[in-house]
Structure 1
């Protein structure tokens, strides 16, 4: 009965929340994905049941059955999913692997709403949501390894092409977030010892800020969500090192999510994460505190609709070029070319191991994020 309840909730409610204003995607998540899961991929079925349980838990946060179900199904999915990755990707499992990776990334993101008590624990301090970035890096690894089959998939291509076209301005001209690059050369000279790392760090910052500027112009399209999937591995390393510039960029990213505050798995995220990031800075820091004022204003704004004078742009006005869909396939083609000389993903491919390891580690991350101490976990039959 629990599984029937979870499946019913996924197909009638949850599926509608996995896309932003896209009836085509809603039908894919509601009908096509469950059909694929029950026909050939038990790990995909377990993943959608885990996501559905998490969705129900958002309205019943103390329901222990839902807590157990959310964790247990995800742990089961990650175990079988990791085993499937180790056996190797093929044409027959490429779609299921991609969809499972996407749902694991969604679960990792959505589960953050249940960590609010921990984040408000002054003794423990604020923890960055690095699992968000790790899980999306895992999705990128799966896409790169299976692109030869995904590129002709009638399920996956509509999901990818539903994202707004990524049109980044890397010209160096002044933009809304240009201030976040001020002083970058001094920082790089201070922390990076070799030329290659200096270049990699500079590009990581430039690219992340360019994505912010692009998403800032078209937030209603769901563009801010693309940030997680497009930043570089180096930028994640800078976050892990808690570089002030990377943290300020992250705060601005969460400010962009304010426009999606009415989505159940993002409700309250902007304010909670921005206040947590700000707590890592000294209020007397004359270099970075002024640059945190914009995300702070957004975080403390009471309405999802933010006036242009606060947002910095009239977000109700979108140019036709900025709001066009599509464009991601060409980016993935480039990514695929980078991996074309590598072997297929399996246990003997060390080049892809770090990225897809992020996904296989999500089972442990889910335990840390979702489960209160001392809760007994029952296995899923």
Structure 2
């Protein structure tokens, strides 16, 4: 009998099917299985009778040229992403159907952009995870508002949160590798994420009141980053991004609020009486920030008087957080009473559009919450916004709710 010392050690059988495939086909990489990289169709795809797509090339990887649109924004799943499964495929099919049949048609601010949101975005989403996840997020939010949170097994709000986080992660990657071929994708993704961020503040808890400075900051930062990237790339008259920026050029100054102008109708909001200015942070830059902000709101107010609830007014109000002055956002974060009074005037105008599902009662709810949070000496400056929400949004009730998207 052989002694144990003479028995050769057993060779460990290597695990199969788990080695990463750097340049395998897209499907094998998403399933995290070994691809034999046979072209035009690999062994796994041939065995399952599925299409085989090679979106990476070994030689191209070495020389690292600027990638094409169809290749640049499709990434491997992250560790915390929901695993590939039948339930995920069914969920995403439901969300895509919701977006194509309902959400995309209702998210555009006007007829001019309807085609972008209803037809172009679903097409471009094949080339961008960030755009695809943003669509899923908005579709889930649409389901939650129209059919109820329980319409989806995991809860529509939870599903929206998950895809919003995934969209933010991928969008940050895409911004830093944007080129002329991908500008439209980045621009449209930013549009969807701004809509999702606005919806987020619908059901947030307003007792005690905390101003939605995160929404302002996120929207402003996203826009500022894109504008800077767009400047570096240069305009392309045929691109959607160029058309969207050109279509709103009269509302901004290179992605910022225009210079201060006529603020006569809201001049009283800058009242620096002793009663209102005790211990208030103030300097020439802060004053300029307020004046620019009030100029924009005054222009919106005049447009409201002239056109009512027009698409032009809606687009202008949606642009406000994109252009908001950084100094003003900081004052909102610090809960400066004057900054909150100004914000109440903006939300009063937004309350004109409560019939839009992704705006709903945000305007009226924010105005009431601001009024309830400010001391008596500031109440006189809130007369106009409180009157307007009663006029434009009479059925809105003060609401508090669960947390929305994590932004």
- TM-score normalised according to structure 2 size: 0.65
Give the match for residue 404 of structure 2. 369
Give 3-state SS (helix, strand or coil) of 1:369's partner. coil
Report the CA distance between 1:90 and its aligned residue: 2.6
For the pair 1:111 / 2:194, whether they are aligned, the reply is no
* Structure 1 segment 32-111 matched on structure 2, within 5 A: 32-38=120-126, 40-63=127-150, 64-85=154-175, 88-111=177-200
Give the match for residue 18 of structure 1. 107
CA 1:146 to 1:293, structure 2 compared with 1: closer, same or farther past 3 Å?
A: same
The structure with the largest alpha-carbon Rg is 2
Q: Per chain length, whose mean CA-contact separation is higher, i.e. which structure has more relative contact order (CA < 8 Å, sep 6+)?
A: 1
Unmatched 5+ residue regions in structure 1? 305-366, 372-381
Give the match for residue 271 of structure 1. 364
Give 3-state SS (helix, strand or coil) of 1:113's partner. coil
* Structure 1 segment 188-337 matched on structure 2, within 5 A: 190-192=279-281, 198-219=283-304, 220=310, 221=312, 222=314, 223-282=316-375, 284-285=376-377, 288-301=378-391, 303=393
CA 1:93 to 1:207, structure 2 compared with 1: closer, same or farther past 3 Å?
A: same
Report the CA distance between 1:169 and its aligned residue: 7.6
* Structure 1 segment 130-169 matched on structure 2, within 5 A: 130-137=213-220, 138-149=222-233, 151-152=235-236, 153-163=238-248, 165-166=250-251
Give 3-state SS (helix, strand or coil) of 1:301's partner. helix
Unmatched 5+ residue regions in structure 2? 1-89, 253-257, 305-309, 395-401
Preserved CA contact (<8 Å) 2:289 2:327 = yes
Give the match for residue 22 of structure 2. none
CA 1:35 to 1:149, structure 2 compared with 1: closer, same or farther past 3 Å?
A: farther
Preserved CA contact (<8 Å) 2:364 2:393 = no
State the alpha-carbon separation in 2 of the partners of residues 132 and 246 from structure 1.
15
Preserved CA contact (<8 Å) 2:130 2:170 = yes
State the alpha-carbon separation in 2 of the partners of residues 184 and 232 from structure 1.
24
State the alpha-carbon separation in 1 of the partners of residues 200 and 335 from structure 2.
22
- TM-score normalised according to structure 1 size: 0.69
State the alpha-carbon separation in 2 of the partners of residues 155 and 131 from structure 1.
28
Preserved CA contact (<8 Å) 1:25 1:158 = no
For the pair 1:9 / 2:94, whether they are aligned, the reply is no
State the alpha-carbon separation in 1 of the partners of residues 263 and 183 from structure 2.
42
Give the match for residue 322 of structure 1. none
Preserved CA contact (<8 Å) 1:150 1:157 = no
CA 1:83 to 1:185, structure 2 compared with 1: closer, same or farther past 3 Å?
A: farther
What are the Cα deviations for residues 175-228 of structure 1, in whole angstroms up to 9, with x where unaligned?
Answer: 221111221899789545xxxx72210110000000000111223221222221
